[in-house]
Structure 1
Amino acid sequence: MAYAYDPVRASDRMPMPAINQEKYTYNYTAPWPVYAMDWSKKKSDGFQIALGSFLEQLSNKLQVISLRGGDNQYQNLGQDFVVTAEADHGYPISKLQWEPARLANKPSDTIATTSDILRLWELTDAEPPSQGGHIPSSSRRLYPNHAKQLKIKTELANNKQTFSAPLTSFDWNEHQPSLIVTSSIDTTCTVWNVETRQAKTQLIAHDREVFDVAFAHGSSDIFASVGADGSVRMFDLRQLEHSTIIYETPAASGKTTSSHHQNQSAAAPSFVSQSLLRLQFNRLEANYLATFQFNSHSVQILDVRVPGVPVTQLFGHADSVNCMSWSPHTAGQIATGADDCQLLLWDMNTAQSKSNNALHGHTQGHHHRHHHSKEAVKPALDPVRAHTAENEINHVSWNYTVPDWLAMASGKTIQALRGDGLK
């Protein structure tokens, strides 16, 4: 469905406050630990962030915060961001995303979240107070000149099961915004059509829990997943009877186990390998993706055309990596965060002069069979910038509409950082 831009509605909204060009950081402290986070993809709301609490109880929150203006009642609270909307969420949010940029001109905004099920939330202007002038308690913390509210738009769960296994992650297809793919601890991935509110397909993606899933950027058919079996697997919605294992973590022991996954023989051995927790495709060069293992200090950069080994690895953290995010503006730039409280920025292009197999150097066609190479390409690569947080960094996200800005979640703090201001 196409959405027309509404100039009347847009004019009623307070414009985004001007960004101070001399300022390199903006801060917000939440009342609880933060895990999930994402920037709005709407240009007029370039400094609007959605975030989710991480509480081990059924009283979690979904919040939307915006950069505050210079003249409002929050000026003396020491917060650069203010809450513009908040909703109860029950279980902790495993991931959240704003709708793709191509939908950003419609009148309302949509946010997707996963936890026990997939939910779509509509962010709209808050309803006016009742005639008695009473303002609901849930709205008292709203930015008064930009008050909004979050309402459930869609709840999607597998109706064939009496119990929905927890969802670990999801990805919203930027090329075909009607599609969202979710991953679950029950070994499956499900592709949803959020317009029809129906599951397009569900497949057993891994031998064990699936921890993350992502569409290849620019494609409405190809996606990849990682899980507790230690493999990166690629799927094509046009040929779901086949899949490709493009990478497996080094064997955790000498033991082997039989794999029954789709295009593999039941007798084919598979190494018992360490869990892969996250993956993300390069937003500008879809042949490349990044992933990392559980309790690992490094990040692996893979080329889907050369399965089996990383084209390079990022060694720089002194403790377990928790998150990573490719820049949507600069090819080869990626940010990583870890338990060592370090946010590191890397530039894959700096490795080109040290290896013919750096980010732009491959010419081979796509491989459909998984294979191992005895020697991985590991050009020397150091982070180009770094930032130290007060607590472990649990999430990092690049701003889609304002170049060079990224945000990180550390403890209860959201910190927006200008990349060129990092040391």
Structure 2
Amino acid sequence: MSLHGKRKEIYKYEAPWTVYAMNWSVRPDKRFRLALGSFVEEYNNKVQLVGLEEESSEFVCRNTFDHPYPTTKIMWIPDTKGVYPDLLATSGDYLRIWRVGNDTETRLECLLNNNKNSDFCAPLTSFDWNEVDPNLLGTSSIDTTCTIWGLETGQVLGRVNLVSGHVKTQLIAHDKEVVILDVRVPCTPVARLNNHRACVNGIAWAPHSSCHICTAADDHQALIWDIQQMPRAIEDPILAYTAEGEINNVQWASTQPDWIAICYNNCLEILRV
């Protein structure tokens, strides 16, 4: 019986440590595979690759490998057709690219470091992988620089220094409130989402709709909003889910828009929406 035949609404996985970073695989043959990163306050941390078994409808750990420091972000290569090697990127002290073989073996493909002439390492706060050209990745650093990398050569292709350390975006999570901006007129918010009662930790746009967004917070709530009525006030979410702990992260599956993943404490849950 297939997963969709059983119509289960929630699947849960418990890791042996607090989960922080996570990401969905987008390969067509790995529809329910996610990567999870530990948050342990010491040098030795872990990354796990987990998958949902069709027969048992349970998550199982396929592979665990060591990672220096907690991962600030994890991302699978944006390869929806499965034509590139099965790669996984992580950020922390450096940007690392890992090659995955049959889910059970993972080896370090390359380490991208733009501080080779210095003993100082400015930790990376985040990164993104170019969906049009998977050879390109961009990283953001705690030292307020953004760097563009070429994966094939491992070379820096460009670097930007941010004077204020801030970038104008369409979404800003400020404590308990989420502010939505029109980047053409960034000084005036077009909407404010303020139903959370504790710090907002994660935001995810719907991959199939420009009018839907999911927010997650320390109040245990994951809320889905319909913002198509902007600039009229948006008072309440259209869906709400209460987890058993403070939600650290939320990811909307880009190739499976019916599914959202959240993590809290040592748990991963995927929710059908």
Give the TM-score band, short-chain normalised: over 0.9
For residues 206 and 26 of structure 1, the distance between their equivalents in structure 2, rounded to whole angstroms, comes to 44
Tell me the residue number matched to 2:149.
192
Tell me the residue number matched to 2:20.
35
Tell me the residue number matched to 1:150.
106
Larger Rg computed on CA atoms? 1
How many residue pairs get aligned? The number is: 272
Q: Which residue identity does 1:328 align to in structure 2?
A: P
1:317 maps to 2:196: yes
For residues 193 and 181 of structure 1, the distance between their equivalents in structure 2, rounded to whole angstroms, comes to 9
Are the counterparts in 2 of residues 53 and 60 from structure 1 also a CA contact under 8 Å? yes
Greater Cα shift, 336-345 or 307-316: 307-316
Tell me the residue number matched to 2:40.
55
For residues 61 and 2 of structure 2, the distance between their equivalents in structure 1, rounded to whole angstroms, comes to 15
For residues 110 and 235 of structure 2, the distance between their equivalents in structure 1, rounded to whole angstroms, comes to 44
TM-score scaled by length of structure 1: 0.61
Indicate the structure whose relative CO is greater, using CA pairs within 8 Å and at least 6 residues apart: 2
TM-score scaled by length of structure 2: 0.94
Aligned-pair Cα RMSD in Å: 1.8
Give runs of ≥4 in structure 1 deviating > 6 Å: none
Match of 1:414 among 264, 268, 272: 268
Deviations along 1:180-201, one digit per CA (max 9) or x if unpaired, are: 1111111111111111110111
For residues 304 and 160 of structure 1, the distance between their equivalents in structure 2, rounded to whole angstroms, comes to 37
1:260-279 equivalences under 5 Å are none
Are the counterparts in 1 of residues 137 and 151 from structure 2 also a CA contact under 8 Å? yes
Q: CA deviation at 1:343?
A: 0.5
Tell me the residue number matched to 2:217.
338
Tell me the residue number matched to 1:129.
none
Q: Which residue identity does 1:85 align to in structure 2?
A: N
Tell me the residue number matched to 2:60.
82
Tell me the residue number matched to 1:291.
172
Are the counterparts in 2 of residues 121 and 154 from structure 1 also a CA contact under 8 Å? yes
Match of 1:98 among 76, 84, 87: 76
Tell me the residue number matched to 1:266.
none
Tell me the residue number matched to 1:66.
51
Q: CA deviation at 1:414?
A: 0.2
Are the counterparts in 1 of residues 179 and 189 from structure 2 also a CA contact under 8 Å? yes
1:176 maps to 2:161: no
Q: Which residue identity does 2:226 align to in structure 1?
A: D
For residues 2 and 125 of structure 2, the distance between their equivalents in structure 1, rounded to whole angstroms, comes to 35
Tell me the residue number matched to 2:164.
207
Q: Which 5+ residue runs of structure 1 have no aligned equivalent?
A: 1-15, 126-146, 209-225, 227-231, 234-278, 280-288, 352-357, 359-376
For residues 96 and 197 of structure 1, the distance between their equivalents in structure 2, rounded to whole angstroms, comes to 18
Counterpart secondary structure, 1:45: coil
For residues 312 and 21 of structure 1, the distance between their equivalents in structure 2, rounded to whole angstroms, comes to 38
- Relative to total residues, which structure has the larger strand share, 1 or 2? 2
Q: Which residue identity does 1:200 align to in structure 2?
A: L
Q: Which residue identity does 2:265 align to in structure 1?
A: G
Q: 1:89 to 1:17 in 2, by over 3 A?
A: farther
Q: CA deviation at 1:206?
A: 3.6
Q: Which 5+ residue runs of structure 2 have no aligned equivalent?
A: none
Q: Which residue identity does 1:109 align to in structure 2?
A: D
